[in-house]
Amino acid sequence: MRRALWALVLTGAVACAGHEEAVRGEPGTHLPGLTDAQVTEFFAGQALFNKVFTPEEGLGPLFNENQCSACHTDPAIGGVGGFERVIKATRFEGGVCDYLSHEGGENVRKRATPLLQAHGVLKEEIPPSATERGLFITPPLFGLGLVEAIAEETILAAEDPDDANGDGISGRAGRTPDGRLGRFSKKAELATILDFVEGALRFEMGLTTPLHTEEETINGRPIPPDTDPAPDPEADQRMLELLSTFVRYLVPVAPTSVRSAAHADTLARGRQLFEDIGCTGCHTPSLRTGGSDVAALHHKTVDLYSDLLLHDMGPGLAGVCGFTASPTEYRTEMLMGLRHRSNLLHDGRAGTIADAVMGHGGEAQRARDAFASMAFLDQYFLLQFLQSL
């Protein structure tokens, strides 16, 4: 009887009293509860997400990929990429982060269009003034609309910058340059999905936008005038809005189905161990969205497994700094859809979940050490739970 009950709970057939079942679905599909007009916009944005841009349409002259879906493909459109890595370079001195935007450090682009190659430019270089460089893997986009809809006060309520409760965890909110709450990107420096989309168009594909109408430079040098045939801005406001809508309406990935009563027991035990060793101190299992004009985003539960705060992960994972993040600080990674990822940690250095756990340091050192000292079977239970997400 106990096993049967657990199987029902873990498959969502039984919800805890007072707790609405989390929103979830198949990878690449849209949120349930959208209107017909919203579904139409979702698919219009999806078409743009899959569009291959040419230099005549604004691609480049410096870029990394020629379509959004080139980096977001697995297990469906909107997911993660394969070997793609964004290269960033920063300078961190006196506790202040210089993003080296004027030298190309914000995104060191790896490809050039034929017109730019004709001038002898094949890519950008790491700025010589950088004190740090970092690689970043492609983030999955599933469920980000619900994450965007989480009320700011909900996120800020979990801050504990001085570790007042003495648990060794001192999360704090990241901020954008203009002071907004940062909830996206590894360094928590993007506030909205529109910010994310606009930055990807600008840096990953080299498209100018209504927010940035001039082409980015080549490590601070202007591009030759005959290398950009498309009139600016190359992406209009409607394109930004449709792409943002597509991302906003992507449903979070459902966890794996429970296969048997024994499997239900395994997942239940693994989830309990996940909590017991302190992982939920940063990887908050669920948060609720606030009010929204979109019914599909209004007061919903999302199982994101993140507090969306910055935490010090120790010198072993140090990389570039962020607008309000030191080289060792990262926003807590969201674990929803974890089983569909093969490259883990911010730069993809970990090939397995166990490797990723063992790579944790800083505020996560205590949880990492607890995992390392576990009996083999308990490690197995915990990893099976994580692999089910």
Helix then strand then coil, in percent of the chain rounded to 5, is 35, 15, 50
38 vs 29, 141, 384, CA distance in Å?
Answer: 13, 18, 37
- Tokens representing residue 335 in the block: 């674990």
The pLDDT of residue 16 = 38
Instruction: For tokens 């570790």, name the residue.
Output: 163
Q: Which residue has the tokens 């161990």?
A: 273
pLDDT at 1: 37
Q: Encode pLDDT of 224-253 as tens digits.
A: 989 999 999 999 999 999 999 999 999 999
Closest to 364 measured CA to CA, from 274, 297, 296: 274
Task: Express each pLDDT in 309-363 by its tens digit.
Answer: 999 999 999 999 999 999 999 999 999 999 999 999 999 999 999 999 999 999 9
Among 225, 235, 237, 4, CA closest to 116: 225
| C-alpha span between 266 and 248 (Å, rounded) | 33
- Low-confidence stretches of the chain (pLDDT < 50) are 1-18
Got the DSSP string for 147-175?
A: HHTB-HHHHHTT--TT-TT-SS---B-EE
Kindly report the pTM of this predicted structure.
Answer: 0.93
Backbone angles phi, psi at 182, to 5 degrees: -95, 120
Are 210 and 231 spatial neighbours (Cβ–Cβ below 8 Å)?
Answer: no
One-letter amino acid of 155: I
- The rounded mean pLDDT for the chain is 93
DSSP state string for 223-264: PPGGG--SPSPSS-HHHHHHHHHHHHTBPPBPPPPP-SHHHH
Query: For position 19, what pLDDT does the model report?
Result: 53
CA 381 – CA 371 distance, rounded (Å) = 11
Q: Phi-psi category of 352—alpha, beta or left, where left has phi over 0 and alpha has psi -120 to 50?
A: beta
The reported pLDDT for the residue numbered 221 is 96
Distance, in Å, from the CA atom of 203 to the CA atom of 212, rounded to the nearest integer, reads 11
The C-alpha atoms of residue 319 and residue 90 are separated, in whole angstroms, by 9
Q: Tell me the C-alpha distance between 285 and 301, whole Å.
A: 10
Calculate the alpha carbon distances from 379 to 163, 302, 333 in Å: 28, 26, 20
